Amino acid sequence: MDEIMINLDTLLEIIENKEVTKLRKLFDTHEIIDIAEICDEIEDISKLLFIFKTVKSEFTAELFTYLNEEQQAKLINSFTDKQLKELIDNSYTDDIVDFLEDMPANLVTRVLKASPKEERNDINKLLNYKEDTAGSIMTTEYVEISVDLTVKEALEQIKKIGQNAETISSTFVIDKKRNLVGVLYLEQLVLSNEDTPIKNIMNEEFLTANVHDDQEVVADIFKRYDRTVLPVLNNEKRLIGIITIDDVIDVMEKETSEDIAIQAGMQPLEDEYLKTGVFTLAKKRILWLLILMISATFTSMIISKFEGALSSATILSAFIPMFMDTGGNSGGQTTSLITRGLATKEVTTKDYGKVIWKEFRVALITGLVVATFNFLWIFLELSIGLVTNSGTIANWQVAGLVALTLFCTIIIAKCLGASLPMFAQKIGLDPALMSGPIVTTLVDATSLLIYFLLCTKIFQLV
């Protein structure tokens, strides 16, 4: 499809030779986001400015939204007032707000000053919505239609005012009091007779979001009900904006990344990994490492408690990492699965009974198979001398002890792994917080306790 293959060198060459036609052709034949990726690497801002001077502003406005913050800030600093106004005129309000959120205050002021009054009000309003709410991802550029029009009149009105809207695929029908009374899909308008009153074809049952709704709730509506646009209402139930699917997909990706970070025992990043500084990255990780490290104190206490047993049979310590790891892994499997299920709404806290009964049976099977293999493997290791047993406990006894511990550990790990995220959800915490590392820490202590109790009290091997 792409007739000219571009990379940084060819782009710089085009700019240096001022090949205006070629540059314009580039924007006709390439996806803007692909060009933006290359423009991110241009260091000389005057070269980037040349593109903005040469290419149609509808293209450069889109290009601008895809550039990284650094380039955006440099450009705004270098733009003339006229260029700035042109950029704003050709951008959707939600895109302007998106980049303003990360800009220093003086640049925000510059952009606001250059914006026409009405747009400035919209931008200011959008900037004030709390991050991660419906308000923060909505746009104010939608088409409103009065309820008493016919299909023909509606289409005419869309033609007149639709050029500036982010989408006309859905338009919003309001009554005289400016209440939202219906949603009209462009497809319906096109497929209907010209004289039909839109009242007869509009959808009077429609989903909406409140401007203060969490963006995750909004994303769930899009996913569950296969929407591409959703109207946003304020607390007085008046229509104040719309959310489009492209922004929702970004939200979905971001929320998933956050869940994954939390589950791995980190605070989520606000920015992309490569754009995040070393100190911020470290800060996001240290807290959980410390919490988990201190929780591991229980394991030290248990081992120290059974010091007597260990000193009379050092072979006992050789398999501690093995059953601790396996316990942690089997608990982690369940936790990830259940946490993901809660995130996609495949599983809800109401299913707790079903889930725990299922996991218990899965644990029985898994435990039986893994413990059996474990018994045979450890017996083999000891018999061929891969691991030396110089103590008084027989090889089969050591293997049996570890395997039995493993069996109990897997059962406990799976039940804990299923319960913790559901419990967190129930009490209103993020289930991702009950992550693999926490389950591992809990399971570690439990399995050590089982191990030493089996060894000293139940079987009295030492």
Chain residues 192-251 in contact with a second copy, contact rule CB under 8 A: 205-208, 222-226, 228, 245-246, 249
Mask: binding to a second copy, 299-318, rule CB under 8 A, as x and -?
A: xxx-xx--x--xx--xx-xx
- Distance, CA of 21 to CA of 441 (rounded, Å): 64
DSSP state of 184: E
Helix (H, G, I), strand (E, B) or coil at 359: helix
Give the tokens for residue 23: 């540059």
From candidates 17, 344, 383, 392, binder to a second copy by CB under 8 A: 344
From candidates 43, 390, 427, 428, binder to a second copy by CB under 8 A: 390
Does residue 397 interact with a second copy by CB under 8 A?
no
CA dihedral 427, 433, 439, 441 (to 10 degrees): -120
For residue 117, which phi and psi values (nearest 5 degrees)? -50, -50
- Distance, CA of 372 to CA of 378 (rounded, Å): 10
Does residue 296 interact with a second copy by CB under 8 A?
yes
Within 10 A of 222 (CB to CB), how many other CB atoms are there?
22
Does residue 175 interact with a second copy by CB under 8 A?
no
For residues 399-438, which are near a second copy according to CB under 8 A?
436-437
From candidates 20, 252, 453, 462, binder to a second copy by CB under 8 A: 252
Q: How many residues at the interface with a second copy, by CB under 8 A?
A: 117
Closest CA to 331 of 453, 201, 420: 420
Helix (H, G, I), strand (E, B) or coil at 54: helix
C-alpha distances (whole Å) from 431 to each of 118, 132, 339, 438 are 42, 18, 6, 12
Q: Kindly state the smallest distance separating residue 105's Cβ from a second copy, in Å.
A: 28
Contacts of residue 353, Cβ cutoff 8 Å, sequence gap at least 6: none
Helix (H) or strand (E) holding 230: strand 229-233
**Nearest residue (CB) to a second copy, 377 versus 459:** 377
Does residue 55 interact with a second copy by CB under 8 A?
no
Does residue 272 interact with a second copy by CB under 8 A?
yes
| Binding piece for a second copy, criterion CB under 8 A, among 9-17, 71-79, 98-106, 343-351 | 343-351
Q: Kindly state the smallest distance separating residue 76's Cβ from a second copy, in Å.
A: 23
Does residue 158 interact with a second copy by CB under 8 A?
yes
- Distance, CA of 358 to CA of 417 (rounded, Å): 12
Q: Kindly state the smallest distance separating residue 32's Cβ from a second copy, in Å.
A: 9
**Nearest residue (CB) to a second copy, 111 versus 138:** 138
Does residue 190 interact with a second copy by CB under 8 A?
yes
Q: Kindly state the smallest distance separating residue 409's Cβ from a second copy, in Å.
A: 11
| Binding piece for a second copy, criterion CB under 8 A, among 9-17, 38-46, 267-275, 449-457 | 267-275
For residues 99-138, which are near a second copy according to CB under 8 A?
none
Mask: binding to a second copy, 10-49, rule CB under 8 A, as x and -?
A: ------------------xxxx-x----------------
Q: Do residues 282 and 177 lie in contact, with contact meaning Cβ atoms separated by under 8 Å?
A: no
Q: Do residues 309 and 316 lie in contact, with contact meaning Cβ atoms separated by under 8 Å?
A: yes
From candidates 155, 218, 411, 412, binder to a second copy by CB under 8 A: 155
Q: Do residues 48 and 63 lie in contact, with contact meaning Cβ atoms separated by under 8 Å?
A: no
**Nearest residue (CB) to a second copy, 219 versus 454:** 219
Within 10 A of 271 (CB to CB), how many other CB atoms are there?
11
From candidates 136, 326, 405, 446, binder to a second copy by CB under 8 A: 326
- Distance, CA of 276 to CA of 451 (rounded, Å): 44
Does residue 94 interact with a second copy by CB under 8 A?
no
Q: What is the CA radius of gyration of the chain?
A: 31
**Nearest residue (CB) to a second copy, 38 versus 245:** 245
**Nearest residue (CB) to a second copy, 17 versus 317:** 317
Give the tokens for residue 409: 């550990």
Does residue 4 interact with a second copy by CB under 8 A?
no
DSSP state of 456: I
Q: Kindly state the smallest distance separating residue 128's Cβ from a second copy, in Å.
A: 26
Does residue 167 interact with a second copy by CB under 8 A?
yes
For residues 348-377, which are near a second copy according to CB under 8 A?
351, 354-355, 358, 361-362, 365-366, 369-370, 373-374, 377
| Binding piece for a second copy, criterion CB under 8 A, among 75-83, 99-107, 322-330, 423-431 | 322-330
Closest CA to 419 of 368, 364, 354: 354
HSE of 308, CA atoms in CB hemisphere, 13 A: 8
- Distance, CA of 242 to CA of 186 (rounded, Å): 15
From candidates 282, 394, 429, 458, binder to a second copy by CB under 8 A: 282
- Distance, CA of 435 to CA of 380 (rounded, Å): 34
**Nearest residue (CB) to a second copy, 206 versus 459:** 206
Closest CA to 400 of 321, 455, 457: 455
For residues 441-460, which are near a second copy according to CB under 8 A?
441, 444, 448
